[in-house]
Amino acid sequence: MSYPQAPWTLQGYSIQSLQPIDIEQARPLVPAELEIVSVFPGKTLGGIYVASYETGSTLLYNELIVVAALTRYANQIGSWVSHIYVDNPDSVAGGREIWGLPKQLAQFVWERGNHKRVSVYQDNQLLCRFEQSWQIPTWRQPLKVTSFSTQDADLLSFEAEASANFSLLGADLQVPSGSPFHHLSLDQPRLVFYADQLRLSVGSPQQLATRVKF
């Protein structure tokens, strides 16, 4: 299977939720080498990101990312992706072999025009669904995010740089009981953003350490 080498440049639109997550619920999903950052007593920060990457992208595909925790290694802070789904086999292979991300195949259905509703399924099981109720435009904003991942015995980090026209959304988020990440209680987000004219560049990973083996 062929896939392009990093960096990947992606263009399209996305929906992103942010909310506190119980550290006890997140801990089993996070490698022991990473410290979970507490943003409130007993809570870390995470959320769900759903995107569609269109013409002009390195690869054309849809993506669902679950961030289970905000984490730290040494003096570096980054997100931990516990679940990630796409609908392009080349993206699965590249995500696993370049970045060490646990990508799986899923199906994406965008509905109701203007990207107001998106449902993500795997083997006929609903993983999650966003449905927009209102939208307040804000402004174009650059953003840089660091994430951690693991590959074989290595702990990795990589950066994603983005710019987009962001809007604040009112949105209903459903994560049914059969979803693999239902236990993170992600269905009551504090904030939801829509990113239009999204341009995202995901850089090559850097090795941070060799993981401890027991």
pLDDT at 211: 76
CB burial string 100-136: b at 16+ within 10 A, e below: bbebbebebebeeeebbbbbbebeeeebbbbebeebe
- β pairing state of 43-53 and 8-22: antiparallel
Tens of pLDDT, residues 122-181 = 999 999 999 999 999 989 999 999 999 999 999 999 999 999 999 999 999 999 999 999
Q: Which CATH superfamily is domain 8-210 in?
A: Acetoacetate decarboxylase-like (2.40.400.10)
pLDDT of 1 higher than 70: no
DSSP string, 71-114: EEETTEEEEEEEEEEES-HHHHHHHHHHH---EEE-EEEEETTT
pLDDT band at 214 (very low <50, low <70, confident <90, very high): very low
Q: Which residues pair with 119 in a beta bridge?
A: 109, 129
Integer CA distances (angstroms), 40 to 11, 28, 47, 79, 207, in order: 34, 19, 15, 16, 30
Q: List the chain domain ranges.
A: 8-210
Tens of pLDDT, residues 58-114 = 999 999 999 999 999 999 999 999 999 999 999 999 999 999 999 999 999 999 666
pLDDT of 213 higher than 70: no
